[in-house]
Amino acid sequence: MIYSLLVLSSPVSGSCTQTAAAFAQCVIARGHSIHRVFFLDSGTYTGATAAVFPQDEADRIRPWIELAEQHAVELILCISSALKRGMLDQSEAHRHERQGATVHPAFIISGLGQLVDACAHSDRLITFGG
């Protein structure tokens, strides 16, 4: 079965993004695949390069980076949500004449069409947060 995920919550507001990342790892461990993860609204903060978590807390961004690196899962940040929150990849930083990227390179900034495409190419879309 092919899954895509929609993440709506910030990585600092509860355990929603951690649950989503764990779900993705379980799906893959059971022989299924993750087509794409789409981060919308506050979920776009998941791609922040500047996020640092206290020593007594789990890193809430690292599991996503590992998912992308180990399983070639696309991590897409909604462009309109990302830009409103100061989330810029290198291309967007250049386009908006900002000094540098604020998004980890494992994440891609793109439009809602990527979410529509994920639905079309997946058996299930699972939503986390709200």
Q: Are 128 and 15 in contact (CB under 8 A)?
A: no
Distance CA(100)–CA(37), nearest Å, equals 24
- Please say if 26 is a catalytic residue: no
According to the model, what pLDDT value does residue 6 have? 98
Percentage, residues of the chain above pLDDT 90? 72
According to the model, what pLDDT value does residue 59 have? 73
Domain range enclosing 18: 2-128
- Which one is catalytic: 16, 26, 78, 119? 78
pLDDT digits (tens, 9 = 90+) for 3-58: 999 999 988 887 899 999 999 999 999 999 999 999 999 999 999 987 777 777 77
User: pTM of the prediction?
Assistant: 0.92
Distance CA(93)–CA(101), nearest Å, equals 6
The residue to which tokens 């830009």 are assigned: 83
Q: Are 22 and 14 in contact (CB under 8 A)?
A: no
According to the model, what pLDDT value does residue 12 have? 84
- Both tokens of residue 102? 């604020």
- Domains in the chain: how many in total? 1
According to the model, what pLDDT value does residue 55 have? 79
31: helix, coil or strand? Answer: coil
> 116: domain CATH number?
3.40.1260.10
